[in-house]
Amino acid sequence: MSVRGNGLWPRAFASIFVALAATVTAVHIYFGQPQAPGHSIAKLCAGTPLSDPYEELPETVKPAPAPVVIRVRLDRTMSIERYLITAGLSFHEAHQWAKRFREESGTSLLRKGHWFSVYKDPQNGDLWGIKYDLDDHVEILERSLGAGVLRVHRKPIDYLTRTVKIAFQVLGDFRQAASRHDVPAPIVGTLERAFSGRSNLDRMPRGSAVKIIYTEKVSSDGLHRVPGHIEAAEIESNGRKAMAFALYGRNGAVHLYDSRGQALGPQFLRYPLHFQFISSGFSYHRWHPILHCYRPHVGVDFAASRGTPVKAIADGRIITAGWCGELGNCVRIQHRGNLVSIYGHLSRLNPDARVGRYVSIGQVIGYVGSTGLSTGPHLHFGLEKEGHYVNPLTQALGVSNELPSRMRAAFDRIKRRYELALAELPDPAHGSGKPLEKHEAAVRVAGKSRLRTYRVSLRGRRRLHRYSRIHRYHHYHHYRHHRVRVIHTVENRIGAGRKL
């Protein structure tokens, strides 16, 4: 026992010594570190957050500079390779860019009237990318990823549907007045057809007032505008008013009615295009210029320039769109009354002309060409009535789209809403006490985009109307016959919940 007890004391003293040495070392290490400048132990308080003076500040990353964008509307057709060489690329680089562009787009030509954009490095001017609007629906984008790597793809053009309101005064020709205020030609044509049996718009008296509400699709970059349909219109001349209101029928077709609910305009077009002359008529025994034999020609050939727009003669559903053998590219449309219209030898179809789609009267479905068995650009136009071919020039056309009784209540509500919208537009004929030839007024409103634009054209000196919440205005002067024409553009925001 004594031996075992004598051995415990040395081990206890050793343990105590080791613990004491470790404590002293820890205290020395802790208090031996240099203190941060401006701080002392005496200033430290419990619960006080400390900021580390040695904490590294995050590096500031500068965003890449925006590219220099050169956007042009081509004034002539040329190859993309030649255009890029003119823009400063070497022959080899332009060839590589043009090769990838041709693989994706199927063409190496940049067409006249199309938009073309070039993106360049703002520092050294190197080419970053290009964009070409193939048509109103598709754009081709090509950009450099560095080290000679190019990426190209096609992208659908994004559109925003908006409502446009416009009021103007006719001081001469109606079409010229509408064109001067940027009213699309399809809208003008629809208006002329709607009032064809009641008013001759080409012979409107001087000082007549026109108000139109229509829809259009605008691309996100604002370069493309695709007109939609008329929602409401009002024409005042010689103290009389003529009004038109749109109502959606079956299959989404839009029809115009007057204030009493009577259908406006013809329901069929006699001719589907503007042609030069009739090169061949309807016949059951005609000498074929290519096959050199007598055979039936169950249609009418309208000679016209290549690319002339071809329109649907009435509302209907497309049942054929594509290659039709001897007729080449063709479209067949099923109409009411067991009637089918046929359009052949088209150079190309409208991208919206697809099987199963519904079209409205006057809608462009294709363009004149010479595909199939054809000796020159023309349109072969045919009609089938209950499965039998009929002469398009003698066939009686006309289907009444009278307002159904079950739609009367809905039409009255729509009419009241658009009457209020038309009344809100300024009256261009009586808005000024000055002579009519000294004053023109136009108003354009974009609804869905929540952007309202007022455009007032003035000749001579006149106090400008004041509008609330003015965000931006722009002036430019045009001197002609020693008169100053000032066009002011004022943009207002429309509330998110506001409707027509």
Top pLDDT among 254 and 279 is at 279
The tokens 């009493």 sit on which residue? 260
CB hemisphere CA count around 183 (13 angstroms): 30
Across 426-445, average pLDDT: 46
Q: Is the per-residue pLDDT at 3 higher than 70?
A: no
Q: List the single range of 27-31, 49-53, 103-107, 254-258 with lowest mean pLDDT.
A: 49-53
In this structure, the number of other CB atoms found within 10 A of the CB of residue 324 comes to 20
| 384 pLDDT higher than 50 | yes
pLDDT value at residue 288: 77
Retrieve residue 441's tokens.
Answer: 């007024």
pLDDT band at 6 (very low <50, low <70, confident <90, very high): low
The pLDDT assigned to 250 comes to 65
What class does CATH assign to 277-390?
mainly beta
The tokens for 224 are: 């493309």
Q: In the prediction, which pLDDT does 192 show?
A: 86
**What average pLDDT does range 380-385 have in this prediction?**
92
Most confident of 49-53, 199-203, 219-223: 219-223
Lookup result for tokens 């829809």? 215
Check if CATH label 3.40.50.620 holds for domain 68-156. Answer: no
Do 160-267+405-493 and 68-156 have the same topology in CATH?
A: yes
In contact, 414 and 428? CB cutoff 8 Å: no
Query: What are the boundaries of each domain within the chain?
Result: 68-156, 160-267+405-493, 277-390
How far is residue 104's CA from residue 98's CA, in Å, rounded to a whole number? 10
pLDDT above 90 covers a percentage of the chain that reads 22
CA–CA distance, 244 with 235 (Å, rounded to integer): 9
Range among 300-304, 391-395, 492-496 with highest mean pLDDT value: 300-304
Model pLDDT, residue 56: 57
Tokens of 316: 């209907």
Closest CA to 358 of 407, 392, 312: 312
Residue 491 has pLDDT above 90, yes or no: no
Residues in the chain: 500
Which tokens belong to 201? 């718009």
With a cut of 60, say whether residue 457 has pLDDT above it: no
Q: Please choose, from the candidates 228, 211, 218, 234, the residue with its C-alpha nearest in 3D space to the C-alpha of residue 450.
A: 218
- What is this structure's pTM? 0.57
Q: Return the structure tokens found at 168.
A: 């103007």
CB–CB of 310/273 below 8 Å?
yes
What lies within 8 Å, CB to CB, of 321 at 6+ separation is: 331, 332, 349, 353, 354, 355
CA–CA separation, 20 vs 373, rounded Å?
Answer: 110
- pLDDT at residue 399, rounded to an integer: 55
Q: Are 142 and 117 in contact (CB under 8 A)?
A: no
**Between residues 487 and 358, which one has the greater pLDDT?**
358
**Which pLDDT score, from 0 to 100, does residue 398 have?**
62
Quote the pLDDT of residue 19: 74
How far apart are alpha carbons 52 and 43 in whole angstroms? 15
**Which residue would you say has higher pLDDT here, 337 or 167?**
167
* pLDDT of 460 over the 80 cut: no
Give me the architecture of the 160-267+405-493 domain, per CATH.
Roll (3.10)
HEC readout, 350-381: CCCCCCCCEECCCCEEEEEECCCCCCCCEEEE
pLDDT digits (tens, 9 = 90+) for 83-114: 888 888 888 889 999 999 999 888 888 988 88
Q: Which residue has the tokens 């695709």?
A: 226
Q: Say how far apart CA 73 and CA 91 lie, in whole Å.
A: 24
Cβ–Cβ < 8 Å for 338, 383: no
Q: Which residue has the higher pLDDT, 348 or 50?
A: 348
